[in-house]
Amino acid sequence: MKKNEQLAERAQREVEFVKQNAAIVFLVKDDKVEECWHIINKDNCLLNVLAVIGKGKSVDGICLDEVILSEIGIGRTRPFHLSRPLALGNKSIPARLRGFGLSADQYKLVAPRIFEALQELVYLKIACWENGHYTTIYSPHYIYSRRQKKLWSYAKIRTWPRGRRFSVCVGTEFVKDVFWAERNLNTGVRRHLSGLARFIMGWLMREAKEWRRHKDFFKLKRVLEIQKIISGKSLPSYLLAGTMDYIPRSYIFYPYMAKLFFGQEGEVSAEKNLISSVLP
């Protein structure tokens, strides 16, 4: 009992501190959400996180009326970690209590407000940037000429959106939604993956016509070229694996493509598992 009392006292101290000093605070009460923005007033923003406070239950079954349920780090600040803001000099803000989390109902209630707040933070940050919202990057682009039977490559200039850094705890519902949105709603990524799928199928057209199943697919010259192209992509592997969404299952090399993107054993990445477990 004494341990529970100490836990409750610590949680209450942390809640009061976060309410007064976090950049953005969301209070989840029953079926409504209250919010407070301290980031606008720099004097009151010692802890650069977006915090969600409400009624929570720990993994040990301890219930508290008010506890920090979730944190999202803004900039270089990491959620629930020790922080050393410049305003405090040599002093630091200790790590906050973990073990509590948002319930499914609480998350569904507060999630839209969180995404709106993060988007607003991005707008506030980039509004003062002289170079605007987009940056220019150079990425390799490949074209296969059927007539010349040759693969051409050149550096293509692309515009890429700029943003702001946030950090979250892995495994939370918020992370699942971010991965799902990046995979399914990012039009730039979807366009890139569909183009990559068309390129691969066109590049392997001759092999598909002359295919003999006793051949080793992964030792084919053009497959080795494709592996080299994929390894040179800047997109993370869990996004590149989305190329499979644009390759028909009836395609003769579909099983081999799955191994190409998911590994020889067909393993699925942790990010893919998170994407597939999002809340409805």
Per-residue model confidence (pLDDT) at position 263: 63
* Structural domain boundaries, residue 253: 170-275
Does residue 270 fall inside a structural domain?
A: yes
Residue 226 falls inside a structural domain: yes
How many residues are given for the chain?
280
165 inside domain: no
Q: Report the percentage of the chain scoring pLDDT > 70.
A: 89
221 inside domain: yes
Whether residue 178 contacts residue 118, with contact meaning beta carbons closer than 8 Å, is answered with no
In a domain, 148, yes or no: no
Q: Model pTM greater than 0.85?
A: no
Q: 94-143: per-residue pLDDT in tens?
A: 889 888 888 888 999 999 999 999 888 888 888 777 776 777 777 777 77
pLDDT digits (tens, 9 = 90+) for 252-272: 888 888 888 776 444 455 555
- Which of 225, 186, 218, 179 has the alpha carbon at shortest distance from 202? 225
Among 97, 126, 155, the domain-final residue is: 126
Residues 44/37, Cβ–Cβ less than 8 Å: no
Non-local CB neighbours of 198 within 8 Å, separated by 6+ positions: 246
Give domain status of residue 6, yes or no: yes
Identify the domain boundary among 92, 126, 160.
126
Q: Taking CA 170 as the corner, what is the angle to CA 160 and CA 36, rounded to the nearest 5 degrees?
A: 80
Q: Work out the mean pLDDT of the chain and round it to a whole number.
A: 81
Q: Is residue 268 part of a domain?
A: yes
Q: Within this chain, do residues 119 and 233 fall inside the same structural domain, yes or no?
A: no
Are 44 and 105 in the same domain? yes
| Spatial separation of the C-alpha atoms in residues 45 and 20, rounded to whole Å | 8
Burial 138-157 (b: 16+ CB within 10 A, else e): eeeebebeeeeeeeeeeeee
| Token pair of 63 as six digits | 């219930």
177 shares its domain with 255: yes
